[in-house]
Structure 1
Amino acid sequence: MSAPSNAVRTRLWLDGELKAENFPLCDISDHLNEDGALLWVDLCNPDHDVLWQLADELGFDKHAIEDTVAHAERTKATRYATHTFLTVYATALGPQLANDLESRLLTARVSIFVLHGGIVTVRHENDPQRPVFDVEDVISQWDDNADLLRLGSPALLHGLLDGIVDGQFETIQDLDDAIEALEDELFDDRAQTRKIQRDTYRLRKELVELRRIVLPMREVINTIMRRRAERDDAIELDSWYADLYDHVIRAAEWTESLRDMISTVFETNLSLQDARLNTIMKKLTGWAAIIAVPTAVTGWFGQNVPYPGFQDAAGVIASAAIIVVVSGLLYLAFKRRGWI
């Protein structure tokens, strides 16, 4: 069994101390049989044949493997006889695209097989050279809390999930900042209404996608905590998982609040457009009333009948004075009411 070296990461700890790294996949079974051994295997976009061979060697359920290779699998946790299988998603917010209606949300599916003596992660990255989920951060967290690794695979799993949830928090924060910037544009008279509409649509689309990832994480962590309670695992990790669960709850609530915020932005934008339209109509009505005065006066005095000042320069002066005075009074009245 072989795979490209740049697509595989392996680590072995004995009694919490790192003993080997980047060893071949063919040595996995031997290391799992060692006393006090803790193993981590990471595969990035693996070949299906390699994945099935590894599954046969470690006894993975075939349904879990099918979920691993399937597309668009939902976030979930499933318990099998010999292992627990998890599907979670790492997230990040990418740069603005040429099509500003297209979602910027980047995701990387991470399938996790939790064994008694270690975990196997299968990552699906669209661009392995620029991964959404950086395993180096997780490795650094494991190294910083090396004393916990003597507690076995639950400690490895906690560090992995904590890194994924932290990435989701960063994505939510980026979306929150984007919504706040959009709120500022709402009340900026120089802002383009069309741009606000397109940004609002894109943010709503990104939040819907993120919500499908973040909300099911509560059930995933719940399943892990129940499994640990049934197996009576080390209580030292209880507080760590409780803190992780709290982070997941906060991420879910934050996502829900952002969805309410973007809905409010959308409705406020419509209300402001209606208000601006009313303002424009009032201005047009005001100017129409002002223009109607000289039209009426000149039309009246233009009739072919004698009138005061007929065929006299005083008549022209009188009509002009009436136009200027009445139009000025109307202008001042409309200006005071804010119609102009």
Structure 2
Amino acid sequence: MPRTRCYCNGILTDEDFPLNDVSEHLAEPSSIVWIDLCAPDLHDLQLVADELGLHELAVEDATKGHQRPKLDRYDGHDFLSAYSVRLDVETGRLETDEIAAFITASALVTVRRDESFPMDLLVKRWDDRVDLTRYGVGALLHGLLDFLVDGHFATVESLDDQIEQLEDLLFDDQPHDKDVQRRSFELRKSLVQLRRVVLPMREVVNTLMRGDLGVVHDELMPYYQDVYDHVMRATEWTESLRDLVNTILETNLTIQGNRLNVITKQVTSWAAIIAVPTAITGFYGQNVPFPGFAHQAGFLTSCLLIVALSLSLYLVFRRKGWL
């Protein structure tokens, strides 16, 4: 069922009324209407479009979805497309919920694809700032943008925490190469998706703040400026985290190379030590007479040489840090 609200002079006067009564509420002076459609069928959306005179291209974009964040201007209304985001901490995957909005002088229509978008939280935010609703549709639109951008910012913070945990895993005494590589790929993929959502919001908010649109009341300008500041911070933070993830991947490769060098030195050192007894026993195993041949003294001499030379090589390699 569509959700509806009517405000008059900033005061909520009616709620959950039928779509057929929209025109009646809009006929009242100083009234604004909010309509929320969740996975609407063509009949409901066309009914709202006829009531408010919405452009067919904007209606088509809202119906098909999968739009990039944008603000399109039409005669008599504007069309907004944006996304709410959240991070699945367990998998590192970014989950997005698309929302479209039709913005007229006296009505805000939001269109969602499913119930995953937390609309109740947005309504609560509007109810907590009832002092702003007297400034018209711009106040409702500010609440929507502020809610979306705060979600972007919270997701960036969560990604930052995950990357810090990845750094601890990277420099752990025990190697976690597979976990680091898998987690780095997941976080990098999420950051790329987040960048596609956050970056265009700069243009969206900046366009809304232009005076020729007439959407934002002068009293609301500081609030939109605050949203724009949050968008910029989230964008810059996202870019820096992308660079940090790339640095982690490069550092992981460097650490793997260093570990391989250490292992190579250790294996080579032990091979050199093992070569000493192999050479001595091979020499004493020749079928030719030599000092100590066929005598116990020869056996003892070979054992002493093996122990002395092997111990000497071990100490030398140990001092050089190869073992």
What TM-score results when the alignment is normalised by the length of structure 1?
0.91
Give the percent of matched residue pairs that are identical in Structure 1 and Structure 2.
50
Q: Distance in 2 between matches of 1:44 and 1:191?
A: 48
In the alignment, residue 221 of structure 1 is paired with which amino acid? V
Displacement of 1:311 after TM fit? 1.7
Question: Residue 303 and residue 232 in structure 1: after superposition, are their counterparts in 2 closer, same or farther (change >3 A)?
Answer: closer
What TM-score results when the alignment is normalised by the length of structure 2?
0.96
1:227-238 superposed matches below 5 A? 228-231=211-214, 233-238=216-221
In the alignment, residue 12 of structure 1 is paired with which amino acid? C
Give the superposed CA RMSD. Answer: 1.5
1:212-251 superposed matches below 5 A? 212-226=196-210, 228-231=211-214, 233-251=216-234
Q: Distance in 2 between matches of 1:36 and 1:291?
A: 93
SS of equivalent to 1:290: helix
Does 2:74 correspond to 1:57? no
1:54-133 superposed matches below 5 A? 54-94=48-88, 96=90, 104-125=93-114, 128=115, 131=116, 133=117
Match of residue 191, structure 2, among 207, 215, 221: 207
Displacement of 1:65 after TM fit? 0.8
Deviations 1:20-67 (A, max 9, x none): 111111111111111010111111111122112211221001110111
CA contact (8 A) 2:49 2:55 kept: yes
1:185 corresponding residue in structure 2: 169
Question: Residue 233 and residue 169 in structure 1: after superposition, are their counterparts in 2 closer, same or farther (change >3 A)?
Answer: closer
CA contact (8 A) 2:79 2:101 kept: yes
Q: Distance in 2 between matches of 1:269 and 1:28?
A: 60
Q: Distance in 2 between matches of 1:9 and 1:231?
A: 26
Q: Distance in 2 between matches of 1:270 and 1:25?
A: 60
Displacement of 1:222 after TM fit? 1.1
Does 2:1 correspond to 1:17? no
Match of residue 275, structure 2, among 264, 280, 292: 292
SS of equivalent to 1:189: coil
Q: Distance in 1 between matches of 2:121 and 2:234?
A: 20
Q: Distance in 2 between matches of 1:40 and 1:191?
A: 55
In the alignment, residue 23 of structure 2 is paired with which amino acid? S
Match of residue 23, structure 2, among 25, 29, 36: 29
CA contact (8 A) 1:182 1:196 kept: yes
The size of the alignment, in residue pairs, is: 323
Q: Distance in 2 between matches of 1:272 and 1:232?
A: 54
1:278 corresponding residue in structure 2: 261
1:45 corresponding residue in structure 2: 39
CA contact (8 A) 1:40 1:118 kept: yes
Q: Distance in 2 between matches of 1:54 and 1:140?
A: 24
2:320 corresponding residue in structure 1: 337
Q: Which runs of 5+ in 1 are unaligned?
A: 98-102
Q: Distance in 1 between matches of 2:84 and 2:50?
A: 27
Displacement of 1:95 after TM fit? 5.4
Displacement of 1:94 after TM fit? 2.6
Q: Distance in 1 between matches of 2:247 and 2:10?
A: 51
CA contact (8 A) 1:118 1:156 kept: no
Deviations 1:167-187 (A, max 9, x none): 111211121111111111111
Question: Residue 121 and residue 233 in structure 1: after superposition, are their counterparts in 2 closer, same or farther (change >3 A)?
Answer: closer
In the alignment, residue 45 of structure 2 is paired with which amino acid? L
SS of equivalent to 1:231: coil
Displacement of 1:233 after TM fit? 5.0
Q: Distance in 1 between matches of 2:275 and 2:176?
A: 33
CA contact (8 A) 1:117 1:153 kept: yes
Displacement of 1:96 after TM fit? 3.5
Q: Distance in 1 between matches of 2:43 and 2:11?
A: 32
Question: Residue 233 and residue 277 in structure 1: after superposition, are their counterparts in 2 closer, same or farther (change >3 A)?
Answer: closer
Q: Which runs of 5+ in 2 are unaligned?
A: none
In the alignment, residue 322 of structure 2 is paired with which amino acid? W
